[in-house]
Amino acid sequence: MPSDNKFLMLIRNFKLIASVTLFSFFFTGFPYASEPLKELSFSLPTDLQSFRKIRVLVLHDKAEVKVSCEAPFKVYDDQGRSIFQGAKLSGASVKPLAMGLRWWNQDIPTRFLLVQSLKNSIRVGGKGLYRDMILICKNPKGKLDIVNKLDLDDYLKSVIPFEGNPQWSLEALKTQAVVSRTFALTRMIERQKEEYDVSSGVLSQVYVGRNIENSRTTQAIEMTRGEVLMYNNKLFPAYFHSTCGGATTAANLVWPVKSHPALTGVECKFCEKSPHYRWQTKVTRAEIKEKLAKNGVPVKEVLGLKFGKIDRTGRAHAIIIQSTWAEKTVDADAFRIWIDPMRLKSGLITKIKEGPEGSFIFKGKGWGHGVGLCQYGMKYLGELGYGYQEILGYYYPGAQVAKIDAIAAA
Ligand SMILES: [Zn+2]
């Protein structure tokens, strides 16, 4: 990553883990054969206005949280009644009760508390600086979940500096903005009946609040205001990953999803300069045995490894473990997540050979699941002067950018 900032490096590495693990967590479980295939097309909802604000889970399962506001604030109960207000708030304690919530020493019969503050200045649990409003909810376990509700584009202002890199070209950042907005909107449509739309960590795009906002990424978001990707007038999840390693692959080959014309995979000669273009790592037999057992695939000994199904990009979609008496086939994407997605960076494994002291040497290309946009390819195309619509059209064939004013921040 081209950044000198160690904190950003750390967070970006975390983000990359998040990106590569995202859908493996959703679909972990082997084999997939018995699961229904997930639909990847989403019709636009009629009440689009209600999709302007996204709900982000920022803290989960807490026994107590402390809330601070650096500007005038108001607190509402689940009936919309204003129950507290003030010029500033310093570390108000909130705890779950059997029949409601306790705000400092006051017991309130409510399912949630909504805290709204001027100047977007809410802190919770000593973390983040959140825009707009937070919901403090009692979850089914009787613990507290904290949800930040804010404009979709304000959310993107914190997400894009991680998911992209503020130093990349403006066209690359605009590409990322449309992709991340589309991805978030599909999640919002999918999760309307849930308590929140996206989490702030490994299951979604990484979000830590407004501290990380950057003027260049914010500019890219504003220049693409309300723009999303559509195929045949329907939304689809605009998957993306760090580096494809030569070609992107089809979503339905990686996960138990229906095939989608914009997510079938394209050739990519543009990510060769990525630091993740080629990789090599050593994994011991003992580690493979341990990680397989931990994930419900016990083997007596790991005698050898072979590729199972390989697609036209060279990606392995199955790994065969040769063991005493038997062979076991596991999903390749699940396998690399189980072992270590920071070392086995992609399913594009080009070689597995015997290494020293009972180990295997894995050689491969790219980082991430390989579906949709290749971010390092996007970066290079942006440097070559391609516009964001051209870049999007390349990685998502047949998809078009559509502007939806109803979801744009006022
Ligand atoms: Zn690529």
Mean pLDDT calculated for residue range 295-323: 89
**144 confidence band (pLDDT: 50, 70, 90):** very high
In this predicted model, what pLDDT tens digit does every residue of 359-387 receive, in sequence order? 999 999 999 999 999 999 999 999 999 99
233 domain residue, yes or no = no
109 domain residue, yes or no = yes
Q: How far is the CA of 45 from the centre of ligand 1 (A)?
A: 33
**Contact indicator for 311, 342 with CB cutoff of 8 Å:** no
125 domain residue, yes or no = yes
Question: Residue 27 and residue 256: Cα distance in Å, rounded?
Answer: 7
Q: How far is the CA of 57 from the centre of ligand 1 (A)?
A: 31
Q: Token digits for 220?
A: 């890219």
82 domain residue, yes or no = yes
In this prediction, residue 410 carries a pLDDT of 61
In this prediction, residue 21 carries a pLDDT of 35
In this predicted model, what pLDDT tens digit does every residue of 17-44 receive, in sequence order? 334 333 333 333 344 456 689 999 999 9
218 domain residue, yes or no = no
Q: How far is the CA of 256 from the centre of ligand 1 (A)?
A: 23
Q: Which residues pair with 241 in a beta bridge?
A: 374
Tell me the percentage of the chain whose pLDDT exceeds 90.
65
In this prediction, residue 269 carries a pLDDT of 95
Return the minimum-mean-pLDDT range out of 9-13, 35-39, 276-280.
9-13
Question: Residue 368 and residue 187: Cα distance in Å, rounded?
Answer: 20
Question: Residue 346 and residue 118: Cα distance in Å, rounded?
Answer: 44
Whether the model clears a pTM of 0.95, i.e. scores above it, the answer is no
In this prediction, residue 292 carries a pLDDT of 93
In this prediction, residue 11 carries a pLDDT of 36
**13 confidence band (pLDDT: 50, 70, 90):** very low
Tell me the percentage of the chain whose pLDDT exceeds 70.
90
In this prediction, residue 262 carries a pLDDT of 98
Q: Which of 90, 122, 142 is the last residue of a domain?
A: 142
* Other Cβ atoms within 10 Å of 200 Cβ, number: 26
In this prediction, residue 106 carries a pLDDT of 93
In this prediction, residue 121 carries a pLDDT of 80
Q: How far is the CA of 380 from the centre of ligand 1 (A)?
A: 9
Task: Give SS3 for 134.
Answer: strand
Range of the domain at 315: 278-365
Question: Residue 122 and residue 113: Cα distance in Å, rounded?
Answer: 14
Q: Where are the alpha helices (DSSP H) in 120-260?
A: 152-163, 170-190, 215-223, 251-254
58 domain residue, yes or no = no
Q: Which of 91, 110, 142 is the last residue of a domain?
A: 142
**pLDDT averaged over every residue in the chain:** 87
Q: How far is the CA of 379 from the centre of ligand 1 (A)?
A: 10
Q: How far is the CA of 2 from the centre of ligand 1 (A)?
A: 17
Q: How far is the CA of 293 from the centre of ligand 1 (A)?
A: 33
215 domain residue, yes or no = no
Mean pLDDT calculated for residue range 152-165: 90
In this predicted model, what pLDDT tens digit does every residue of 73-130 receive, in sequence order? 999 999 999 999 999 999 999 999 999 999 999 999 999 999 998 777 899 977 778 8
* Other Cβ atoms within 10 Å of 381 Cβ, number: 24
Q: How far is the CA of 274 from the centre of ligand 1 (A)?
A: 9
Q: How far is the CA of 396 from the centre of ligand 1 (A)?
A: 13
Q: How far is the CA of 248 from the centre of ligand 1 (A)?
A: 7
393 domain residue, yes or no = no
In this predicted model, what pLDDT tens digit does every residue of 165-204 receive, in sequence order? 899 999 999 999 999 999 999 999 999 989 899 987 655 6
Question: Residue 147 and residue 111: Cα distance in Å, rounded?
Answer: 13
Give the count of domains, the chain: 2
Q: How far is the CA of 381 from the centre of ligand 1 (A)?
A: 10
Question: Residue 313 and residue 247: Cα distance in Å, rounded?
Answer: 6
Mean pLDDT calculated for residue range 300-326: 88
Q: How far is the CA of 246 from the centre of ligand 1 (A)?
A: 5
